[in-house]
Amino acid sequence: MTAPDPTALRAHLLAAVPAATASGARVLTALLEDPAAAAQLTVTDLAARTGTSEATVVRTARSLGFAGYPQLRLALAASGTAPAPAALLTESPEDAPDLAGVVASLAALESEALHATARTLDLAALGAAADAVHGARAVDCWGIGASGVLAADFDHKAVRAGLLTRLRTEGHAALVSSETLGPDDTAVVVSHSGRTPDVVAAAGRARDRGAKVVAVTSSAGSPLAGAADHVLVATGRETAYRAGAMASRAATALVLDCLYVAVVQRLGDRAGDALQRTYRAVEDPRPVQGRRAHRR
């Protein structure tokens, strides 16, 4: 793992929060609350301030791609990172005192999720994932619950671009479908947590059969990520009362849109022709023969 560019450090810190352990999240939150002050703290000082251990601080630094905490301190000092608003770290929209607070909190969360995802998205992984989808005989799109809605959106766009796709939004359906895939196929698997058992098992089965697996998840360290060939990480914080929250869905939708556009670029004229035909089909749903007769 490569250490993040200092100019994108805040985005990487925010991106790491959803998948962090409770103690790791406290370290990340302290770094985000006052980066300049944190850059002055020794590993012992930071561990004491966050109620964690020195080992936790070091593990957190390494999970971000740094060799150790001293390298993270240098990056903090060089980054010029501004403190993150408290609402992004600790508050939940449902705790807002009025509707204006709800709107402001949701807007801040979604905006930060989109910017953090854009700054941290692995472009090499995105390109490799697009190659896998573009070169596939068939593309399976899997997701359950809120993730299923996002998988369905990607499936819809991919069909319009001329790809042969199969949407599976139920766990057993994904497991069954995984056994029909082969080396010429690709599965695009959407899971915010990356821990939905059926989806993780289906991804592992598909990969065992030689299919390429593209995971879109919030956690690079999740079981789904471990079962995938290509991992695309979407940043978005959820709360206890907002599973499938808008911020996480918006971040995931951004990643899937980036994947879709990258695939369309690779398809070239093939995608353009397919999009024109499908647009015409929606505008005039009559059979082609009927349309010709109407023109005469």
Residue ranges covered by each domain of the chain: 6-84, 123-281
Residue 92 confidence (pLDDT) above 80: no
User: Residue 191 has which token pair?
Assistant: 């899971």
Per residue in 198-210, pLDDT tens? 999 999 999 999 9
Lookup result for tokens 């939004």: 169
For range 162-170, the mean pLDDT: 96
**Measured CA distances, 44 to 41, 47, 67, 73 (Å):** 8, 5, 17, 13
Over residues 185-212, mean pLDDT: 96
**CA-based torsion, 196, 201, 207, 211: positive or negative:** negative
Segment 8-61, tens digit of pLDDT = 677 778 777 767 888 998 999 898 888 888 899 999 999 999 999 999 999 999
Q: Residue 147: what pLDDT?
A: 93
Categorize the per-residue pLDDT at 283 as very low, low, confident or very high, splitting at 50, 70 and 90.
Answer: confident
| Res 241: pLDDT | 41
pLDDT at position 2: 61
Cα diameter, the chain: 84
pLDDT computed for residue 240 by the predictor? 42
Q: Do 146 and 171 form a contact (C-beta atoms < 8 A)?
A: no
Q: What is the pLDDT of residue 245?
A: 56
The whole-number average pLDDT for the span 177-197 is 95
**DSSP 3-state helix, strand, coil percentages of the chain (rounded to 5)?**
60, 10, 30
- What single-letter amino acid sits at 111? S
123-281: CATH class: alpha beta
State both tokens at 282.
């929606």
For residues 217 and 191, the answer to whether their CB atoms sit within 8 Å is: yes
- Residue with the larger pLDDT of the pair 176 and 120: 176
72-84 pLDDT tens trace? 999 888 877 666 6
Tens of pLDDT, residues 221-278: 789 999 999 999 887 655 444 444 566 788 899 999 999 999 999 999 999 999 999 9
Which residue did the predictor score with more confidence, 181 or 82?
181
Q: Summarize the confidence of residues 188-194 as an average pLDDT.
A: 93
Token couple for 260: 């879709």
Average pLDDT, the chain: 86
Distance CA 180, CA 177 (A): 5
User: Contact 10/33 with Cβ under 8 angstroms?
Assistant: no
Band (pLDDT 50/70/90 cuts) for residue 103 is: confident
> What's the CATH fold of domain 6-84?
Arc Repressor Mutant, subunit A (1.10.10)
Contact present, 221 and 248 (Cβ < 8 Å): no
Spatial contact of 28 and 79, defined as CB atoms under 8 Å apart: no
Residue 289 has pLDDT above 50, yes or no: yes
> Nearest 5°: phi and psi at 196?
-65, 115
